[in-house]
Chain A
Amino acid sequence: MINIFWCDVAHELQWLPARETFVGVAAMSALKNRIESVLEEPACGKNQAKDAKDRKKGCAKPLTPGAAAGGCAFDGAKISLQPITDVAHLVHGPIACEGNSWDSRHALSSGPMLYRTGFTTDMNELDVIYGGEKKLFRAIREIIEKHNPPAIFVYQTCVAAMIGDDIEAVCKAAREKFGKPIIPINVPGFAGSKNLGAKLAGEALLDYVIGTEEPETTTPYDIAIIAEFNVAGDLWAAKPLLDRLGIRILANISGDARYHDIACAHRAKAAMMVCSKAMINVARKLEERYGIPYFEGSFYGISDTSEALRQIAKLLVQKGAPEELLARTEALIADEEARVWQRLQPYKERLKGKRVLLFTGGVKSWSVVSALQEVGMVITGTSMRKSTAEDRERVVEIMGTDAHMFDEMPPREMYRILKDSQADIMLSGGRSQFVALKAKTPWLDINQERHVAYAGYEGLLNLVQEIDRAIYNPIWAQVRKAAPWEGSND
């Protein structure tokens, strides 16, 4: 049956490049070069601090077999690009890569829902033996026939890469055949970490998408935001502020984005880089290629949100926007800060002195710290995983000491700290939530799987409300009490 199936489309595929064993090897070494170039990222603070030898080793920490945690490069690429809502995201590989993980994040859309559909070639044994290129091509055609999306992103995976499936060639053939962008995202999982995957995803956008379309109109107030994924609607918590200032998000990479937005990103006047490590290469290359200045900022917390607005206004004015924008920005900041402080007042009383253990990384290690200190909470520890030297400096700057920074904390140690009541709440990602809950300690999700937006002034209010709800929930008193027939020491 499979053979008949193949003949069926054979005539269409004649112009696919002949399948030769070295094709895969060539694709692999191209990938290797790309990885090296990404790892030498000059704008990366962490990278610059290294000597030549260390830099060559790349920024991916060598993984320890049997003691590793975290996703693969494919995972990172998918997370970074899937929030583009009108694109079909097609995973070329066996069922594991898409089947085990699809539709599991809360990057929200204000319109198209196609991004939440899981597409995969679901490679079987025969595909592995005979090669999956033809199947991939047919899969692309099926998606176009059923959904006709503005673009299809094709994700490479380990098995397809190993057997030498050349997704770049298939995408090129499909692009010519169907006359629409079919974008290869050449990021097999074994290439490295999630972070590397995010960077390679950024490279794919730079190579194939950004600069390929033109916006209908442009204004002096057009910006791009990089590495904001609209988790739980974060973008929508910050956007009204920009709207009020007349600033237009020409392209948000990639939360709630449309393909066309990303393709037009090169026309932005200025850019904000949100998550400092995920897509720094995109920010730098936008500047290099299109002269778009950028800054690194965050929408978490009151002062960070205000600072981000200031920076955006400043860069836009530098690029020719009328200078009055600066004054309007200051006025809006003053109004909104006053408004949010007023609404935070009741929580300040309740949360003053409450101790927080923060287990996250990167930009959040400092942006959330300052946000929580603003309402009077005490940070007992913040993890510096995935953080740059700059991130560390900011933590010291904000906290006045580096005494509370830690790199890794094994779950057992974390459990002990919480069990000994050395913190009133832990803020972390979903993976460590049960360490806190089993230690009967309040916990709040601050990573991708949450359902509440924490960005902007409104977001901080949300965060504080959530912390208050968690700490003051009446269950804690009951669940910490031992059963009447057990000893009192729990």
Chain B
Amino acid sequence: MTAKVLNIIVTGVGGQGNVLASQVIATAAVDSGYFVSVGETFGASQRGGSVTSHIRVSKVSAYGPLIPQGEADFILGFEPLETLRTFRDYGNSSTQVIMNVRPNYPLGVLLNEDQYPDIPVLTGNLRVQSQKLWALEATNLAVDVGVPVGTNMVMTGAFAGVQFLPISFLAYETVLKGMFAGEILDLNLAAFQVGVKAVS
């Protein structure tokens, strides 16, 4: 890791479990010896609002909990529209992105007032404008493992898999073992592995 600080944004919609994903990543980073600051915006959690975590990882010192605009090095997007929203504000041409392609429609779209962006067009745009994009069917992968709510662990596994942070899989799995037990742990570990595989 050569940069002074690496800026990662985890973004999605309330209820998708992205706050837990950011806690897993941040805890694994602290346990691996880094200074980590996380700024969570989860006031709207569970009520359909956007939920975003800013994770800042540094070898040098603790940074503030918010990332300046245009300075995200990595975006882990749980939902296409939220990924696009975050990329517009925080992305740049060297930002890398993992995106779950399953949409979650906002009220304005349900009311037939707003148009949800066309997914292939949105994906194509992000692919051109970012340094690298991994577009994943993360929710479907989680459903296949038997845990639709395991999308967050598929995404966490994918993030671990691309090795943006020099953190071992073992460090992530140790965090999961501290958080869960029994069958729930097994399901989360399985979802995590599916995510790792999806980007390998």
* Chains A and B come from one and the same complex: no
**A binding-site residues for B, Cβ under 8 Å:** none
Q: What residues make up the interface of B, taking CB atoms closer than 8 Å to A?
A: none
